Structure 1
């Protein structure tokens, strides 16, 4: 794709997202509107395609897939140093489609309407030294049990469905002795310290079942949820999700922060999942990059969901 023939809008499709039946519908709608379409065939290829499209002058690059595809496309735009001039579009074609739901893009037809007529908003990104995330960063128990998690549970619980499935699947869980230090206004404070099962850092989403999952993604702050060691709880009942992660749970600590470090207090490492991209380390520092990503959003997107 050269700069001379680059279309203004490039749609990058992951054919393996969701049930895999979305490609023909997306292709026909893209052709009707004169959008270019590129179909991935390997993990990480959406990064390459997005980087090439942005470097060639596309004004809108669209991720058609789930949250992992969105992450790859944003990484590609970032690699091209084009976040200041390229708009991200999303077409929900994954299973959970958490980010698409948080910006109120509800289906394929709706996605193309939003691309044509939707409002553009500048939202925050989450960053580490070497990685970025749009939706969330999860430390500890991660979404490794996605194949065992039912679609119905994903619909009801989102990312927490993977967490609950993972908790059920481990015969013996070694809790993580860790600390969470917050950096704000030039000060460092320890927000949490102890034995944790999981730390959930939400950028575009928060983790409270039964409530709107959309976080304020324009405030330059993360929504952080720490779940303490729950190895003694009965994790087999589905009702545990509402109890364990509920707003008033004694096992959960919640706070907000623009930057933080999650550090293990022993010599072991743990997995950090950034929109599904796995990083293994003993610590991870994350910070918000406020207002750096322009996104086409649906009419129901709320810039300030906490005011309700």
Structure 2
């Protein structure tokens, strides 16, 4: 043994949760240092702007870290995942999550209840292999881009809501902030005309309220967009909502999406697959991934089975029949 302690790098977004992350982090950091004292050293890097977490995660992965911990919201986690994958280090570097944001969709799927629970999970060191998504899209300047996501990517109403939330205060908290933005967005929303292919088969062509490519079960601050999705099944659950009236969206679909009952609506289809392509039929359509505005169509996404080593609770096992 070399005697060199393991290096854990925590990448902290102080702006997560409308600044609540900065206020909560010192206490969480103390607990994390105590929990990891017998295993190694903790280095903390604070982000200052967009893509900082990606750069820091890449540097940490290439610099010998055994684990990179994303302390922030779903967007921070997404950037950290992108950095580790871009470094080609997903096989050697574990990922951890300390939820400090407003949405909390990925930790909800993973079974992490709060920041204190996350510290305990990281200290225990149990790992799960989970999938990730790779996506190709077009940026605002029309250039082809490649990226990654941990939880989901989507277009249509959900992407417009994410764009609105990103420009507004999240002081109300995840559920309230996203629900309020959804209602306001619906008022001016027009469905997008798209062609959706899943594993090369056309599953939708025409107007769509939303198309969600789900790795996890939740998005938009506790909306159960894909109730049967699993992080470790090697496939996406692709949720396509056809053209739906605004009154129906507000009165019926929006409330039911929090329980997952929206998938029973005749205008909603769920298709499972490994590869997804979305082509806009009436001009570019805005995209989002893990709650952050990404770019625009055309979109191509593929699942990366078991690509990530995640420090996580043991998955709940369904009882035997």
Task: Determine if the TM-score, normalized by the shorter chain, exceeds 0.5.
Answer: yes
Write out per-residue CA displacement over residues 66-91 of structure 1, whole angstroms, 9 at most, x where no aligned residue: 10000111111112210110000001
3-state SS, counterpart of residue 119 of structure 2: helix
Correspondence 1:123 to 2:130: yes
Shift of 1:138: 1.0
Shift of 1:248: 1.2
Write the distance in 2 (CA, Å) between the matches of 1:270 and 1:225: 17
Q: 1:209 to 1:162 in 2, by over 3 A?
A: closer
3-state SS, counterpart of residue 31 of structure 1: helix
Write out per-residue CA displacement over residues 39-88 of structure 1, whole angstroms, 9 at most, x where no aligned residue: 11222111111111111100110001110000111111112210110000
Write out per-residue CA displacement over residues 87-138 of structure 1, whole angstroms, 9 at most, x where no aligned residue: 0000111112111121111122211111121421111111124011100001
Residues 148 and 165 of structure 1 are in contact (CA less than 8 Å); yes or no, is this contact kept in structure 2? no
3-state SS, counterpart of residue 264 of structure 2: coil
Which of 84, 105, 108 is 2:91 aligned to?
84
**Paired position in structure 2 for 1:200:** 212
3-state SS, counterpart of residue 247 of structure 2: coil
Write the distance in 2 (CA, Å) between the matches of 1:17 and 1:264: 33
Residues 138 and 199 of structure 1 are in contact (CA less than 8 Å); yes or no, is this contact kept in structure 2? yes
Question: What is the count of residue pairs matched by the alignment?
Answer: 292
3-state SS, counterpart of residue 49 of structure 2: coil
**Paired position in structure 2 for 1:158:** none
Residues 209 and 246 of structure 1 are in contact (CA less than 8 Å); yes or no, is this contact kept in structure 2? no
Which of 189, 193, 202 is 1:173 aligned to?
189
Correspondence 1:35 to 2:42: yes
Residues 13 and 37 of structure 1 are in contact (CA less than 8 Å); yes or no, is this contact kept in structure 2? yes
**Paired position in structure 1 for 2:164:** 145
Write the distance in 2 (CA, Å) between the matches of 1:123 and 1:306: 22
Write the distance in 2 (CA, Å) between the matches of 1:243 and 1:115: 34
Shift of 1:167: 4.8
Correspondence 1:154 to 2:175: yes
Q: 1:94 to 1:222 in 2, by over 3 A?
A: same
Which of 285, 289, 292 is 1:270 aligned to?
285
Write the distance in 2 (CA, Å) between the matches of 1:165 and 1:45: 26
Q: 1:233 to 1:43 in 2, by over 3 A?
A: same
**Paired position in structure 1 for 2:295:** 280
TM-score of the superposed pair, with normalisation by structure 1? 0.84
Write the distance in 2 (CA, Å) between the matches of 1:210 and 1:54: 32
Pairwise CA RMSD: 2.9
Moved over 6 A (4+): 304-308
3-state SS, counterpart of residue 16 of structure 1: coil
Residues 60 and 68 of structure 2 are in contact (CA less than 8 Å); yes or no, is this contact kept in structure 1? yes
Write out per-residue CA displacement over residues 183-242 of structure 1, whole angstroms, 9 at most, x where no aligned residue: 1xxxx21111221011111112257957995721111110111111224435554x5413
**Paired position in structure 2 for 1:298:** 313
